[in-house]
Amino acid sequence: MTDDEVLTQTRHWLEKAVIGLNLCPFAKAVYVKNQVRLVVSQARHADGLLEELDRELDLLVATPADEVDTTLLIHPTLFDDFLDFNDFLEIAEGVVDEHGLEGVIQLASFHPQFQFDGTEPDDIGNYTNRAPFAILHLLREESVERAVEAFPEAEAIFEQNIATLEKLGRKGWKALGL
């Protein structure tokens, strides 16, 4: 799969699911302003992806938020297994800490087989974090805090997402082309 194909599928997911279903009420504003950096990794191993994470963290903190507010580091092939990706997330969090960015940058994750602890694999609620590829989402804490302040009931987002997905169902999700 080419980088362009990966980016096309990722944008489709962002536009149809994340923004289209309003799974993240903060995403549209930065997306339409072109402040979301999409980076496709072709690293052949986890160490290579960690090096790319290093570079993306450095770039994000060195770039004004009005130019790049958030970064999606996408890997289309490295982590087919969600549990392997989940284990990798602990290491990736350590990289954030090594950069002295705890409280400055936070990581969110998406994966084609994302599964919340204590749920069944086919639970529709898992689709809130399902994406076409394994993705590390680098978010500025400052931007997250501003967005939460502007959204009066931010703690209700997760429950709203579950309700949206339950109403949509798996057929509706597939109808979005996801």
DSSP sequence for 137-177? EEEEHHHHHHHHHHSTTGGGHHHHHHHHHHHHHHHHHHHTT
Give the rounded percent of residues in the chain with a pLDDT score beyond 70.
100
Q: Name the average pLDDT for the chain.
A: 94
What are the b/e assignments for 107-130, b being 16+ CB within 10 Å?
A: bebbbbebbeeeeeeeebbbbbbb
Mean pLDDT, residues 1-12 taken together: 97
pLDDT for residue 133? 98
pLDDT for residue 148? 80
Cβ contacts of residue 120 below 8 Å, gap of 6+? none
pLDDT for residue 26? 87
Burial of 105 (0-12, 13-18, 19+ CB in 10 A): buried
pLDDT for residue 153? 77
The CA-CA-CA angle for residues 102, 67, 136, to 5°, reads 45
pLDDT for residue 5? 97
Q: Say if CB 110 and CB 134 are below 8 A apart.
A: yes
Max distance between CA atoms of the chain, in angstroms, equals 44
At 115-145, the pLDDT tens digits run: 999 999 999 999 999 999 999 999 999 998 8
Q: DSSP assignment, residue 15?
A: I
82-98 and 46-62 helices cross at what angle (nearest 10)?
A: 40
At 64-106, the pLDDT tens digits run: 999 999 999 999 999 999 999 999 999 999 999 999 999 999 9
**pTM for this model (two decimals):** 0.94
